[in-house]
Chain A
Amino acid sequence: MADETWIPPPLPATWLRRLVEAMTDDAGEDGQRTLNELDASLDQLSKGALRPEDCRAFWHEKQPVLSRYFELVASVIESFGPPDPSAVAEEWKRMTDRSFRDEGVRGALRGAYERLTEFDAPLAGPTGPEIRAAIESLHGTVSPLREVLLRRSDLFVAMLLGRHIPAEKVSAYRSLLVDLSNGYDQARGECLTSLYLSLGRWKGGGARPAERAIWGLFGSSAIRYVLDRARPETDLDRLDAISELLIKRWPESAGATLAALGEALSTAVDAQLELLIVRALRWVDPSALAPRIERALFERLLLAAMSGDDADVREAAARALVAWLGAEAAEPLRVRLSVEPDDDVREALLELFASVASESAA
Chain B
Amino acid sequence: MWLLRIARRGNWSSGSAADAAKDLEPRREAVIVEDVSVFRVESEREAADVATVRVATQRRPSAVDYVLLPDDVVRALCEVAHRPQPASHPLLADRHYEILGLADAARVRCLAERLLEVGVTATRIKERDLRDAVLARLDSDPDLLRLLKPGWQ
A interface, CB within 8 angstroms of B = 193-194, 197-198, 200-204, 207, 234-238, 240, 243-244, 247, 279, 283, 312, 315-316, 319, 344, 347-348, 351
One of A198, A247, A316, A347 near B62 (C-beta < 8 A):
A316
Supply 29 A–B pairs (Cβ within 8 Å), ascending by A. A193-B30, A194-B30, A197-B30, A200-B27, A202-B58, A203-B34, A203-B37, A203-B83, A203-B85, A234-B25, A235-B25, A235-B27, A235-B28, A236-B5, A236-B6, A236-B7, A237-B5, A237-B58, A240-B58, A240-B59, A283-B151, A312-B10, A312-B63, A316-B62, A319-B62, A344-B63, A344-B124, A344-B126, A351-B128
- Determine how close the nearest CB of chain A comes to the CB of B60; give it in whole angstroms: 6
Q: How far is the CA of A198 from the CA of B28 in the complex (A)?
A: 9
B27 in contact with A237 (CB, 8 Å)? yes
- Determine how close the nearest CB of chain A comes to the CB of B64; give it in whole angstroms: 10
A238 in contact with B27 (CB, 8 Å)? yes
Asked whether B29 is an interface residue with its Cβ less than 8 Å from the other chain, the reply is yes
- Determine how close the nearest CB of chain A comes to the CB of B108; give it in whole angstroms: 12
Provide the residues of chain B in CB contact with A197, threshold 8 Å: 28-30
User: With A316-B62, A348-B126 given, is the CB distance from A236 to B8 under 8 Å?
Assistant: yes
> Which residue of the partner chain A has the closest CB to B150?
A283
Specify the main secondary structure of chain B where it touches its partner.
loop
Q: How far is the CA of A207 from the CA of B86 in the complex (A)?
A: 12
Asked whether B71 is an interface residue with its Cβ less than 8 Å from the other chain, the reply is no
Asked whether B127 is an interface residue with its Cβ less than 8 Å from the other chain, the reply is yes
The 0/1 profile, CB within 8 Å of A marked 1, for residues 23-43 of chain B is 001011110001001000000
Name 18 extra pairs, CB < 8 A, besides A235-B28, A236-B7: A197-B29, A200-B27, A203-B83, A203-B88, A203-B96, A204-B34, A234-B22, A234-B25, A236-B8, A237-B5, A237-B27, A243-B60, A283-B60, A315-B63, A344-B124, A348-B126, A348-B128, A351-B128
> Which residue of the partner chain B has the closest CB to A279?
B62
The interface size bin for chain B is: 20 to 34
Q: How far is the CA of A312 from the CA of B151 in the complex (A)?
A: 19
Q: How far is the CA of A298 from the CA of B54 in the complex (A)?
A: 31
Provide the residues of chain A in CB contact with B5, threshold 8 Å: 236-237
Provide the residues of chain B in CB contact with A201, threshold 8 Å: 27, 29
Provide the residues of chain B in CB contact with A198, threshold 8 Å: 29
> Which residue of the partner chain B has the closest CB to A207?
B87
Provide the residues of chain B in CB contact with A202, threshold 8 Å: 58
Q: How far is the CA of A194 from the CA of B30 in the complex (A)?
A: 8
> Which residue of the partner chain B has the closest CB to A203?
B85
> Which residue of the partner chain B has the closest CB to A200?
B27
- Determine how close the nearest CB of chain A comes to the CB of B57; give it in whole angstroms: 10
> Which residue of the partner chain A has the closest CB to B27?
A235
Shortest beta-carbon contacts, A-B, top 4: A197-B29, A235-B27, A240-B59, A234-B22
Provide the residues of chain B in CB contact with A207, threshold 8 Å: 87
Provide the residues of chain A in CB contact with B37, threshold 8 Å: 203
- Determine how close the nearest CB of chain A comes to the CB of B58; give it in whole angstroms: 6
Q: How far is the CA of A128 from the CA of B17 in the complex (A)?
A: 64
- Determine how close the nearest CB of chain A comes to the CB of B29; give it in whole angstroms: 4
- Determine how close the nearest CB of chain B comes to the CB of A327; give it in whole angstroms: 20
Provide the residues of chain B in CB contact with A243, threshold 8 Å: 60
Q: How far is the CA of A347 from the CA of B128 in the complex (A)?
A: 10
Provide the residues of chain B in CB contact with A315, threshold 8 Å: 63
- Determine how close the nearest CB of chain A comes to the CB of B38; give it in whole angstroms: 12
Provide the residues of chain B in CB contact with A347, threshold 8 Å: 126
One of A193, A203, A348 near B127 (C-beta < 8 A):
A348
